Copies of this chain bind each other. A is one copy, B any other.
Amino acid sequence: MILRAAEKVFGERGFAASTIADLAREANTALGTYYIYFESKNAVFRELVLEMGTLTRRVMSDAVDGAPNRLEAERLGLRAFLGFVAERPALYRIVEEARFVDPDAYRDYFTQFAAAYQDQLERAEAAGEIRPGNAEVRAWALMGIAKNLGDQFALNGGADLDKIADEGFDLIRNGLAP
């Protein structure tokens, strides 16, 4: 399947260094077959970013579902995110590269995520589960923590993600607790 081949190739070599021939070879098809399924080289890339959006939302909402309160949701969410990055590093790299390859897709991805996050924080504040504060700035700051810990500790394997998540959550818990 071309989409999976593209995930692998783009994730390993990056967009610029990957050729349509590479994608086709990885997918065990002829070069021209690519264009039966996708308009252009960029098209799969966008598709992968969209897929990552759906997946991330699912992973995160599954992880957080049933958390008794926002702080616990933060802990579970951070751990799940790190695990997801470790499991699908290629997809994660592709989203980051989308910032330069397909800026619209990149912006949509994070803007949508941030809006939902902000909403959660506002509810939590209203429920008295976290200290009052600017939910928009907090959402982006917390996403920044997750992204950077993911980049540094989850992307290349070898790190103890439970530990990283605990240490990261320590900062978040005290940062947000009422």
- Cβ of A141 within 8 Å of any chain B Cβ, yes or no, is yes
Could you mark each residue 54-94 of chain A with 1 if its beta carbon is under 8 Å from any beta carbon of chain B, else 0?
00000000000000000000000000000000000000000
Q: How many residues of A contact B (CB 8 A)?
A: 37
- Contact in complex: B149, A144 (CB < 8 Å): yes
Q: In the complex, which of the residues B148, B163, B171 contacts A175, with contact meaning CB atoms closer than 8 Å?
A: B171
- Contact in complex: A153, B167 (CB < 8 Å): no
Complex CA gap A137/B153 in Å reads 9
A-B contact pairs, 14 of them (CB 8 A): A133-B170, A137-B149, A138-B167, A138-B171, A140-B148, A140-B149, A140-B152, A141-B145, A141-B149, A141-B168, A144-B146, A147-B147, A170-B175, A175-B175
- Contact in complex: B100, A167 (CB < 8 Å): no
- Contact in complex: B100, A168 (CB < 8 Å): no
A interface majority secondary structure: helix
- Cβ of A143 within 8 Å of any chain B Cβ, yes or no, is yes
Residues 124-170 of A at the B interface (beta carbon under 8 Å): 131, 133-134, 137-138, 140-149, 152-153, 163-164, 167-168, 170
- Cβ of A112 within 8 Å of any chain B Cβ, yes or no, is no
Give the interface of A toward B (CB within 8 A).
Answer: 14-16, 96-97, 99-100, 114, 131, 133-134, 137-138, 140-149, 152-153, 163-164, 167-168, 170-177
Complex CA gap A163/B136 in Å reads 12
Residues on B with C-beta less than 8 A from A177 are 174
Complex CA gap A60/B142 in Å reads 22
- Contact in complex: A137, B97 (CB < 8 Å): no
- Assess A171 versus B140: contact at CB under 8 Å? Given A99-B96, A147-B148: no
